[in-house]
Structure 1
């Protein structure tokens, strides 16, 4: 097979040997296979040629006057490190070969007399190795150039960065809020399909966050529980309208089997987003029971993630009131009694205790120092402190938005269209946060 056929057409091979017949044989062999062949009869001439030509493979005889193959290939490595180096030797002196490996970092050695097929195979493999090394160097050089460009750019922006640090931090916070707002909006869209679902996820998420705070859950985990609360019903997105309206107590057979798969389906829908994987695990486990009789994995006790134990209670408490679990919708105090009576069976006793404290008002409410204003009292620059939600539970405006003139006009238009009056909780920029 020719060099052209191998994708290495016109690769350059330099052969250095003080015997002309050896050089002639190598020249005939490599030229017949499409290589460009250069020959020199001394090591010094070979080094001089490397100063003017790029060579892919250097083949050197071991025994040469003035400079042997080991010393020559060592010099080749220093002058042309990208050239693959082969040693041609008439004996198998292990010490000399090791010396060539250590000093000249040769790729292979070939003994005389060589087999033409073996020689061509060795050179071909050397060129393939060189191609991989060249590509690696190209990619490293590209990465280095790009890093240098970024470094120069960063250096040029240092002054601006110093001036805009506060603005960038605010932008990062805005991205986080927008991500959470997107989740809230998506949750609201899911709930538009069923009247019983309207506002359910937001109420569950709020209660779950309050329970987490009471249980001294750290802020990061508490946020994951809140997000999971907003999305815990996402696995129901494929349910029919009739199934969404039917109380769980009336389901049986295939319908009940399909219902019991919705936590797994919810996890599958959320797993592709790395930011939601922790929440996805809570979504999967929020229908597990403390006594091990839940689904989908029949976990029990502390094997159920704490966030899922919290969501189980928060979700059921709201579902009992809106008629999702049973045909009859219960008053809050009736739903609370069922939850409390199920401690140790359906629910974690520790979570139930926190629930009782939340209901009794013994959990301190974090000070917000906010105030409710009508839309016509709003001014650009004010910051919302609470979500603005329609009566049907859909989200109009999330907390932590800085109002603009355009936003205020849109709220006024929505207010007129809905025939309602909105109370927007805000604080002015500069007030104590």
Structure 2
């Protein structure tokens, strides 16, 4: 229960205050002078003190100033019957008084003032208790951390050594895996002159298109791997058949060729890392209008990676003579792809491919120079001259990508999460002369 000390040299004032606070569930002590009040406070933990201003010997201001000095946590209220503002302000400044109450007082006002003061006192005491508890717990945690520091350092060193070994091993596995993919891809291309380099060109362009479309890293990797391996199903075809353009195949040859997607999927499915790519290989001969094979998928029902692969593969094959009996110039290929928008190819992807090709052609201009800048300094309006790779070798953005304000903010934010700063190679105007 809160303890209140009332200090006044007039007994009738003390009696009136005692009657007023009798129903407030508080304990009350009284003193008829400042000196007596200080003696009581030295013996009892007083929560709140109300002191009259004008008292003989020691004034209320002097008394409350002493209370503030010796018991700063005690809430202090001043009771005054004089409207001398200068005197009241002096008392407030010297005693850091919570409130002053004028005589004659309003019973409800003084009761509410005391209630609020006691509530504030309780909250302040709880705050200090929690701060002390926090300091104590922090000290305990600091001691615990100190005792564990050596063990943590030793364990960290062990983990770092193990991690370095795993990183090296993972790098070797990744290198060997990609090398194996290239070997498998070359098995077909070695058997047909027009196929040489086809898979690598398709893989590179498909990856760039996927990045331009905003595909995530995992999806982009699956598209790249599927592009490298999309012709693996041709391994069962004869050397002569590999040289026959699709447009002039016989009925028997066409029937055999239509099995290439499913056989490619079957060859890749046993390898866990290639299962997603295998699904794209299966679907890369589907048509946007549903007249493709092997599952007659249509529209968005065809996986995006397969739609990309179908478009880019045909874009390259039309130029190397593997679809028509003659090689087609790039400008004529564009016209043919435009004619088949919405039929064989996703119309949005056709537009995106042309935009990508135009961007790649633009970045090859001899009038432009390449400059290298830190990611933290990149500004909107520049174009990547080279692929932007993460420290681990993963592709973040492909060459030819235009950096707008949104992408600029993402690059800067991403750079802050890396231990090693990113450097960008971008195109800049050559200096005159």
> TM-score w.r.t. structure 1 length?
0.48
Bigger CA radius of gyration: 2
> TM-score w.r.t. structure 2 length?
0.48
